[in-house]
């Protein structure tokens, strides 16, 4: 069974999180009324640059089913509440790259906001937003926080200064929108409905004349090069661009759609390549062979595979033949967690863990609705902002419903034969700290 059927999600060239439900409980995360200006009061977070505290030490940020956000120690179970349950709908948390603050999107009776906090819950800042954000991404220097959300003509980007000042408005938008920060945090590359462009925090725009292929998120690598998928006579080609020299190097040619995730060390690309297989008009099993009605009734099938490409040598490592809803590199770049269907005819999924040419598969489970609808279809974009992996690359965290109907947040050790451990029964989403 294709992954789209087993977890209820599908990807496409112009797919965007704006069209997806983003609350596991089924409540609408967006207030009916437009956000209103909020008068300062004693209960409001402070305004001004925060006094940033120490970095997290192996902690997990959790979104609860009751609309709260908290930090969890996975070993002793201790918690620090950042956003209380029942005081709005807090979602889509994201760690600052240095591990010293957490941000999240909030919808409550005051409207839409982006919240940020030290890891002990202090120095909270609330920035009023023009929309409910569903993807947050700090630049690599931890200076600027961007959030994507619904805005004309489809998706828009806003910036949060972290001071608690209201956001000035949407800084860029398009029909669909995927982006990646430059290493210095001064620019970002956009793959959008109108094409490719480089945007600067100074307001500059540099169009890129590229013939984009079917993919979603570009990657601006730590070495300054940019990875995108372009059309080629042989298919969708992943290309490494050097902006200064204008050089373009073909890395890998995939199928009808090709998405990828760069490992944190910059050595490897994990690639999901998918082919669309049209039904045979002479053997489709629906109506008279070769009739138009028969061809229309049977949707095209898809086949997928995951490969790893060593960038320096272009060596291709075949990993698994499956469609996938997630490619997540460990921080040290030695392991890859692949989310895929467990078996045909079921709604179960599992993790395949690749390490140094070997793989093992975890116990099967079902995904939470929030993760299925908001994260699975756009895993390559989210992989640039959050991680399920522990800082030491030995275990990872995920939201799930087990085959025994246990629900919540599970931690899985990255070695075969070890069952996952339920660490929180009230969580619907979780990501590990970078530190």
What's the whole-model pTM score? 0.86
Token pair listed for 364: 């099967």
On average, the pLDDT of the chain sits at 87
What's the CATH code of the domain at 167?
Answer: 2.130.10.10
Do residues 215 and 260 lie in contact, with contact meaning Cβ atoms separated by under 8 Å?
yes
| pLDDT value of position 197 | 98
Whole-number Å distance between alpha carbons of 167 and 320: 44
Question: What is the number of domains present in the chain?
Answer: 1
Whole-number Å distance between alpha carbons of 125 and 118: 10
**Half-sphere exposure of 386 toward its Cβ, with a 13 Å CA cutoff?**
27
DSSP assignment string, 144-201: -EEEEEEETTEEEEEEE-SSSPPP---SEEESSEEEEE-TTSSEEEEEETTEEEEEET
**Least confident stretch, 135-149, 186-200, 335-349:** 335-349
Phi first, then psi: what are they for 126, rounded to 5°?
-125, 120
8-54: pLDDT as tens digits:
333 333 333 333 333 333 333 333 333 333 333 435 678 899 999 99
CB neighbourhood size of 233 (10 A): 6
DSSP assignment string, 115-130: EEEETTS-S-EEEE-S
Q: Between 280 and 278, whose confidence is greater?
A: 278
| pLDDT value of position 46 | 82
| pLDDT value of position 29 | 38
Token pair listed for 199: 């945007």
Q: List 329's β-bridge partners, or say none.
A: 336
Q: List 71's β-bridge partners, or say none.
A: 61, 80
Which CA distances in Å does 272 have to 47, 89, 262, 323, 343?
44, 33, 12, 7, 19
Query: How buried is 295 (Cβ within 10 angstroms: 0-12 exposed, 13-18 middle, 19+ buried)?
Result: middle
- 3-class SS of residue 79: strand
Query: How buried is 83 (Cβ within 10 angstroms: 0-12 exposed, 13-18 middle, 19+ buried)?
Result: buried
| pLDDT value of position 286 | 36
- 3-class SS of residue 175: coil
Do residues 397 and 391 lie in contact, with contact meaning Cβ atoms separated by under 8 Å?
no
Q: List 274's β-bridge partners, or say none.
A: 257, 304
| pLDDT value of position 278 | 60
Do residues 254 and 285 lie in contact, with contact meaning Cβ atoms separated by under 8 Å?
no
**Least confident stretch, 244-248, 253-257, 367-371:** 244-248
Q: Is the pLDDT of residue 298 over 60?
A: no
Type and span of the H or E element at 133 = none
Token pair listed for 305: 């595979």
64-105: pLDDT as tens digits:
999 999 999 999 999 999 999 999 999 999 999 999 999 999
261-270: pLDDT as tens digits:
999 999 999 9
Q: Which residue has the tokens 């997990």?
A: 60
Residue 237: domain span: 3-432
Q: The sheet that has 60-64: what strands, in order across it? A: 79-83, 69-72, 60-64, 427-432
CB neighbourhood size of 376 (10 A): 23
Q: Is the pLDDT of residue 151 over 70?
A: yes
Q: Is the pLDDT of residue 288 over 80?
A: no
How large is the average pLDDT for residues 205-223?
96
């Amino acid at each position: 069974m294709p992954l789209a059927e087993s977890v209820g999600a599908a990807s496409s060239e112009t797919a965007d999180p704006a069209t997806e439900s983003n609350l596991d409980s089924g409540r609408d995360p967006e207030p009916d009324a437009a956000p209103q200006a909020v008068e300062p009061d004693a209960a409001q977070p402070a305004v001004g640059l925060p006094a940033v505290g120490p970095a997290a030490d192996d902690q997990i940020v959790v979104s609860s089913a009751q609309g709260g956000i908290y930090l969890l120690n996975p070993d002793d179970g201790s918690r620090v509440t950042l956003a209380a349950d029942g005081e709005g709908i807090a979602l889509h948390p994201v760690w600052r790259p240095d591990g010293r603050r957490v941000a999240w999107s909030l919808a409550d009776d005051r409207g839409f906001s982006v919240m940020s906090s030290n890891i002990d819950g202090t120095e909270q800042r609330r920035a009023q937003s023009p929309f409910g954000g569903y993807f947050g991404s700090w630049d690599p220097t931890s200076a600027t926080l961007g959030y994507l959300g619904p805005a004309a003509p489809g998706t828009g980007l806003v910036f949060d200064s972290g001071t608690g000042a209201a956001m000035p408005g949407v800084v860029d938008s398009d029909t669909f929108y995927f982006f990646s920060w430059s290493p210095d945090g001064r620019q970002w590359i956009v793959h959008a409905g109108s094409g490719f462009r480089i945007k600067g925090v100074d307001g500059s725009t540099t169009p890129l004349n590229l013939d984009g292929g079917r993919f979603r998120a570009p990657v601006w690598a730590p070495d300054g090069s940019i990875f995108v998928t372009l059309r080629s006579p042989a298919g969708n080609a992943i290309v490494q661009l050097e902006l200064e020299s204008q050089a373009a190097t073909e890395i890998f040619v995939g199928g009808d759609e090709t998405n990828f995730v760069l490992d944190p060390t910059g050595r490897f690309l994990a690639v999901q390549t998918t082919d669309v297989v049209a039904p045979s008009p002479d053997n489709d099993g629906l109506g008279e062979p070769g009739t138009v009605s028969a061809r229309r009734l049977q949707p095209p099938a898809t086949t997928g595979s995951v490969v790893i490409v060593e960038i320096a040598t272009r060596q291709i490592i075949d990993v698994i033949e499956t469609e996938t809803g997630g490619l997540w590199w460990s921080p040290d770049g030695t392991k890859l967690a692949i989310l895929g269907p467990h078996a045909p005819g079921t709604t179960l999924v599992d993790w395949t863990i690749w390490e140094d040419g070997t793989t093992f598969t975890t116990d099967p489970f079902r995904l939470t609705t929030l993760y299925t609808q908001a994260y699975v279809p756009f895993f390559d974009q989210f992989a640039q902002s959050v991680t399920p992996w522990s800082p030491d690359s030995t275990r990872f965290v995920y939201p799930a419903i087990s085959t025994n109907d246990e629900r919540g947040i599970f931690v899985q050790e990255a070695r075969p034969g070890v069952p996952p451990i339920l660490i929180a029964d009230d969580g619907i989403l979780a990501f590990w700290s970078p530190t």
